[in-house]
Amino acid sequence: MDSVAAKIGWLALAAIGAICLGVIALHRGESINAIWLVAAALSVFTIGYRFYGRMIATHVLKLDPTRATPAQLRNDGLDYVPTDKWIVFGHHFAAIAGAGPLVGPVLAAQMGYLPGTLWILFGVVFAGAVQDFMILGLSLRRDGRSLGHMLRAELGNVAGVICMIGVLVLMMIVLAVLALVVVKALAISPWGTFTVACTIPIAILMGVYLRYLRPGRVLEVSIIGLVLLLLSIWGGGVVAADPAWAPYFTFSASQLAWLVIGYGFFASVLPVWLLLAPRDYLSTFLKIGTIALLAIAILFSAPYLQMPAVTKFVDGSGPVFAGNLFPFLFITIACGAVSGWHSIIASGTTPKLLANEREALMVGYGGMLVEAFVAIMALIAATALHPGIYFAMNSPAAAIGVDVQSAAAAISQWGFVVTPQDLLDTAKNIGETTILSRAGGAPTLAVGMAQLLHNIMPGEGMMAFWYHYAILFEALFILTTVDAGTRVGRFMIQELVGLAVPALQKTESWTGNLIATAFCVAIWGYFLYQGAVDPLGGINTLWPLFGIANQMLAAIALILSCVVVVKLKRERYLWVPALPACWLVICTLTAGWQKLFDPSPKLGFPAAAKKFADAIAENKITAPAKSIAEMQRIVFNNYLDAALTALFMLLVVAAVVFGVRTMLAARRLSRPSANEEPYVAIGASA
């Protein structure tokens, strides 16, 4: 009886999901309410979790509730601790959710809300959640080992090295592109700059409090920090309105890039308790709180989506990023649909905390579904904006010019009618002087969030408050990522260089520390600066590189999953990881190929380099460059980006070759050959 009722319930949910998707996909002309997207997402995710996720748990990973997890086998009260599944879920989600799912969907909104929505919904169910869940499952059976360790054990040392190089380069690109998001958001914005700058003394205050005044009282100090942050938003408004103070906090993009580079260096050599850790705590709580707030704002204000379902920019001519829907949509929305980064987290702390294998379904698969929901909310916030505003904020100056008249004219010509006054009014409402060419996702999301929150909590001047709140919220965890990532990069560099110069390997030595940190900051700082001065806006160049790298890592993680499935003699289910693995390999290689060989300078790196090199040969200055030296730099940077793209493609191809070879070898064996730890029943070890 119960099961009949359950079946009817699931059928009803499937019907609701199908109707919502139908409405979203077939609706044309009049704008559509965002609630349809929310309902479609919730139904697809619930069905995906209940059926696909559970199928993977039962048949592909064969999770066993009687089998002891690493947390139980090695319980040391510190690293390996059996923990309540909801807490593991919170910890895992806080680690995977970052700026990625917020930025990608906003950029992809240039193609309309439909392509992004469909990719997020189906990408997460069949690719992203599968990857996170499977890697978590594999690590659970291997003492909670990392992705690199597992690759070495299952595919050999060379595959392990490939992964290490891939992760290091990806990390540098991530740091550069995220820092660029902050730079783009704060350029010529004294309010934002003041508020974000305040997070440094606030974090230091919190650090001292946590260390000396009330050691380890994390929650109370975070509440104090939050109050101070809100005060700093208010203070930013006062500073921005003050003609004497505002200039001290008004910086161009390239000045801010230098400031962030300097910040990254100092922050990552300071002791962690002083700046990094307290701000990380604050940003984690703020992140979870703000995501909940965004969900409430969308539900209560139920905005209409003003962006068309599909815009003409699916043909690759869009101003935000170049390239056709295939493959670039699937590169642009990485986090939120599928993200290689997560495989590092799913094989990091999380597997050392789970008390039961079956809980991996909720934490691994479920955690990624929630991240996808965050991506859907970001997409809603961006597409609920007037498209004219959206394109003004996200198009480079090369496409729309530098003043509101030229911007309004250019955007209206694309079919999104907007007046110069609209652009000025929007800037004024959010307490800024301009909204033009603020690509990078954060400002657009902030305007979208500000409008949603303003809908449910109206009030004079509140738009500006919410806008800067949203900017602060993103900058807070991006800057945390920048200094934590610089530390990780420094350790990796010390490890790598230490092979040749053993003296540099001592991570406690200040000389080794400073040299490796400077080196690490120089790498991502180079790309950041390049992005900040790039006339096409930087995001245009760096985001696809980041997307390709991130999807490359996801492909490697899924190839590992394929190999283990074959080694365990479960070939019947090989398609589960193989389907997304193939798709990502196709997407990354096609995108890489186009970035390398497309004759259009907008898309192909070498084509762009050639355009400027030819002009240099004729001694002609080509806009938007202003001097021959600037043009030479553009040429060099484009070749550098091309080389990186080629490297990523090479890594993907190598991973495929190693994976296929290992799978063929494993097939010839008559017994399972994966390197799992032996079975121990729960309770048998205690």
Residue among 228, 257, 331, 488 that touches another protein (CB under 8 A): 488
277 binds another protein (CB under 8 A): yes
Q: 2: which residues sit within 8 A by CB, 6+ positions away?
A: none
User: Among 493, 485, 484, 488, which Cα is nearest to 512's?
Assistant: 493
Toward another protein, which CB reaches closer, 181 or 609?
181
Shortest distance (Å) from residue 97 CB to another protein: 7
- Euclidean distance between CA atoms 550 and 333, whole angstroms: 10
Is the bond preceding residue 327 a cis peptide, omega within 30 degrees?
A: yes
| Site for another protein, residues 176 to 215, rule: CB under 8 A | 178, 210-211, 215
Q: Residue 382: beta bridge partners?
A: none
Stretch that binds another protein, among 34-42, 271-279, 398-406, 659-667 (CB under 8 A): 271-279
Shortest distance (Å) from residue 444 CB to another protein: 17
Q: In what helix (H) or strand (E) does residue 329 lie, and over which residues does it extend?
A: helix 325-332
Q: How far is CA 80 from CA 13, 76, 110, in A?
A: 39, 6, 45
Toward another protein, which CB reaches closer, 17 or 441?
441
Q: How far is CA 131 from CA 134, 255, 514, 560, in A?
A: 5, 40, 36, 10
Shortest distance (Å) from residue 275 CB to another protein: 11
348 binds another protein (CB under 8 A): yes
Angle at 243 between CA 242 and CA 248, to 5 degrees: 90
Stretch that binds another protein, among 153-161, 277-285, 555-563, 659-667 (CB under 8 A): 277-285
Shortest distance (Å) from residue 495 CB to another protein: 9
Toward another protein, which CB reaches closer, 249 or 373?
373
Residue among 154, 280, 432, 641 that touches another protein (CB under 8 A): 280
Q: 439: which residues sit within 8 A by CB, 6+ positions away?
A: 107, 184, 320, 393, 394, 395, 396, 537, 538, 539, 540
Binding residues for another protein, rule CB under 8 A, total 55
339 binds another protein (CB under 8 A): yes
77 binds another protein (CB under 8 A): yes
Shortest distance (Å) from residue 138 CB to another protein: 16
Binding mask 123-162 for another protein (x = CB under 8 A): -----------------------x----------------
Binding mask 81-100 for another protein (x = CB under 8 A): x-x---x--xx--xxxxxxx
- Helix/strand/coil for 304: strand
218 binds another protein (CB under 8 A): yes
441 torsion bin: left (phi>0), alpha (psi -120 to 50), beta (else) = left
487 binds another protein (CB under 8 A): yes
Residue among 550, 551, 637, 673 that touches another protein (CB under 8 A): 550
Residue among 1, 78, 244, 623 that touches another protein (CB under 8 A): 78
Toward another protein, which CB reaches closer, 349 or 632?
349
Binding mask 233-252 for another protein (x = CB under 8 A): --------------------
The token pair at 661 is 């070879």
- Euclidean distance between CA atoms 556 and 549, whole angstroms: 11
Residue 292: exposed, middle, or buried by beta-carbon count in 10 A (0-12, 13-18, 19+)? exposed
| Site for another protein, residues 588 to 647, rule: CB under 8 A | none
Shortest distance (Å) from residue 321 CB to another protein: 17
Q: How far is CA 403 from CA 183, 436, 630, in A?
A: 20, 8, 23
User: Among 159, 59, 122, which Cα is nearest to 662's?
Assistant: 159
Shortest distance (Å) from residue 478 CB to another protein: 9
273 binds another protein (CB under 8 A): yes
Stretch that binds another protein, among 157-165, 482-490, 533-541, 660-668 (CB under 8 A): 482-490
Shortest distance (Å) from residue 471 CB to another protein: 18
Residue among 63, 335, 379, 404 that touches another protein (CB under 8 A): 335
Stretch that binds another protein, among 324-332, 358-366, 485-493, 611-619 (CB under 8 A): 485-493
The token pair at 682 is 């729960």
Toward another protein, which CB reaches closer, 9 or 271?
271
Stretch that binds another protein, among 48-56, 183-191, 436-444, 483-491 (CB under 8 A): 483-491
Instruction: Please name the residue ranges forming H helices in 242-302.
Output: 253-269, 276-301
Toward another protein, which CB reaches closer, 289 or 672?
289
Query: CB count, 10 Å around CB of 538?
Result: 27
Residue 354: exposed, middle, or buried by beta-carbon count in 10 A (0-12, 13-18, 19+)? buried
Q: Are strands 304-305 and 32-33 parallel, antiparallel or unpaired?
A: antiparallel
- Helix/strand/coil for 530: helix
- Euclidean distance between CA atoms 629 and 473, whole angstroms: 38
- Euclidean distance between CA atoms 469 and 229, whole angstroms: 9
The residues that touch another protein, with contacts defined as CB under 8 A, are: 75-79, 81, 83, 87, 90-91, 94-100, 146, 174, 178, 210-211, 215-219, 222, 272-273, 276-277, 280-281, 284-285, 288, 335, 339, 341-342, 344-345, 348-350, 480-481, 484-485, 487-488, 491, 546, 550
